[in-house]
Amino acid sequence: MAARRSSGSAASSGPGLWIWLGLALVVILLDQFSKTLILGDFNYGESRVVTSFFNVVRVHNTGAAFNFLADSSGWQRWLFVGLGIVASAVIVWMLKKHPLQKLFCFAIAMILGGALGNVIDRLMHGYVVDFIQLHYAGRAFPSFNLADSAITLGAICLVLDELLRVRRS
């Protein structure tokens, strides 16, 4: 990604940072609330059909996206917690540095909230609670959660932000 232009003085960056951190906190709270509902209302592996392409299911992911490293012996939990914490620190630094770049900050705030939502799961349970299952013609996409959705939305917005930035220059 190309270098970003400065967003102004430190005085102008204060309130913007807190807005983005607040957005990340909303993502964390919604993610954890939804997972608490799933843990309370569903047994492991239980699934309920919602539509012809969408189920709510309780699954546990000890790995990363698409169950990457899920079959490892447990060390991956701490690797993913560590990566999530380091990524979060970098994101907070980026938010502080560029608080007025709205699309960019929205994107990384969504990623921050999603990453920390999943880190909380790993610390509390040893796995991430997934519950959204999309399927079509007998094939199911790997289950995911609101944190994963926020990370995906953030990644899409990062690509869009970069495309718009390149187009402007």
Assigned domain for 40 exists: no
* Weakest mean pLDDT among 49-53, 97-101, 108-112: 97-101
What is the pTM (predicted TM-score) of this model? Answer: 0.83
pLDDT in tens, 41-73: 999 999 999 999 999 999 998 766 555 555 555
Assigned domain for 119 exists: yes
Assigned domain for 25 exists: no
Catalytic residue among 31, 41, 71, 130, which?
130
Active-site residue, 148 included: yes
pLDDT confidence band for 10 (50 / 70 / 90): very low
Catalytic residue among 31, 121, 148, 161, which?
148
Assigned domain for 42 exists: no
Res 7: pLDDT: 45
Quote the domain boundaries for residue 98: 51-168
Number of domains in the chain: 1
Assigned domain for 130 exists: yes
Assigned domain for 24 exists: no
- Three-state SS across the chain? CCCCCCCCCHHHHHHHHHHHHHHHHHHHHHHHHHHHHHHHHCCCCCEEECCCCEEEEEEEECCCHHHCCCCCCCHHHHHHHHHHHHHHHHHHHHHHHCCCCHHHHHHHHHHHHHHHHHHHHHHHHCCEEEEEEEEECCEECCCECHHHHHHHHHHHHHHHHHHHHHHHC
Res 78: pLDDT: 74
Assigned domain for 152 exists: yes
